[in-house]
Amino acid sequence: MSKLVFKNLRRERDCMKQQIVLDEIVNKRGRRVDGFINYGQKPDMSHYQIPVIIVEGGHPGKTLLIDAAMHGDETEGSEAIIKLAAELENMEFNGTFVGVPALNMEAFACISRATLTDGFNLNRIFPGTKDKYITHYLAAEYMERVVSHVDAVINMHGGGDVLHLEPLAAYVPSEGEDDEVSRLSQGMAEAFNVKYLWCQQNLPFDGITSLEYKKAFGIPTIIPEVGSQCSRFVNRERDVDICYRGMKNVMAYFGMIPPTGDKPVEHKIHIELNYLHARNGGIQKLCKRENEIVEEGETLGVIHDMFGNQVEELKAPFPGVVIGYWSVPVIRPGDWWSLYGRILKKE
């Protein structure tokens, strides 16, 4: 889909405000509807599908979209969406909840970060296009059929199978005092209530939801990162609960539900997240772990080859804090080794 079409949709968005249309409805009870959006027929005549849960609150208010498993190995948000939807269908609230527990069902079904059909990372190709691969088509169709009809988005992520990440909430950077979308995005991130708040002003890649939704529709979006495979053995329920409570806190921020009473996290830190890559492969050892404050030049990690020789040492490029890291022993050239935060502000 061309950017011109998205600009037209943005201008028309306020007057459209029609309901999201599902191609298949599998359940309807009270104010809740579960179903699928189809976006392509496979050779076996089944469809690529987006599962959607819509719960009407019964009173006027914002329409909040929460999606997860854009990367198929990041599922803490999926569990939280399912839990929250079950709660909301039994209560009255303001506005509409739209939950998408597995946006990239192809990746989710295979526990894969990327779509196996074409190998693309969905959160690098927004706004998508309908004349390329199926993942590009998914992005464009989702923008048109879902995102254009909502007021705000929580796009849930996590560390997946190979990264550890401390819980954080990313918000879009401000482009000036009159940037209401960025102000709302930061407010959503603060309301989500985790320790680290990531201002996305130095992203090393393009095509992600938060920036493209703002550009196309003027919609505030946050990207929480919560949970990973290396913490699921002991912290799965904790991380799902962080997602669940964060979602409710954002609903309260928009006046959709009363204040949750969730105790604010103390000593929040605003960061600029930097992705530090390995240049060599081998067996990696971490010298600094999550939440450690590090001085410039300190060693974050080392890599040894199969003969025990050190082939690389990663040093901190500036003072900062370790937010995450490659969590498995074997690392390959180019992999994200350390997710390192430059501290912008402490609360």
Measured between alpha carbons, how far is 270 from 266 in angstroms, rounded to an integer? 13
Q: Quick one: CA dihedral 100, 247, 61, 222, positive or negative?
A: negative
Are residues 64 and 151 in contact, defined by beta-carbon separation less than 8 angstroms? yes
Measured between alpha carbons, how far is 94 from 125 in angstroms, rounded to an integer? 33
What class is the 3-253 domain? alpha beta
Number of alpha carbons in the 13 Å side-chain half-sphere of residue 338: 29
Residue range(s) occupied by CATH 3.40.630.10 in the chain: 3-253
Closest alpha carbon to 221 in 323, 82, 342, 127: 127
Q: Check residue 2 and give its pLDDT.
A: 45
Q: Indicate the CATH number of 279-342 among 2.40.50.100, 3.10.290.10, 2.60.120.620, 3.30.420.40.
A: 2.40.50.100
Residue range(s) occupied by CATH 2.40.50.100 in the chain: 279-342
Report the side by side order of strands in the sheet with 330-331: 310-315, 299-304, 282-286, 330-331
Write the DSSP symbol of residue 157: B
Measured between alpha carbons, how far is 108 from 86 in angstroms, rounded to an integer? 21
Which stretches of the chain drop beneath a pLDDT of 70? 1-18
Measured between alpha carbons, how far is 5 from 246 in angstroms, rounded to an integer? 33
Three-point CA angle 202, 123, 345, nearest 5°? 30
Are residues 269 and 346 in contact, defined by beta-carbon separation less than 8 angstroms? yes
Classified as helix, coil or strand, 280 is coil
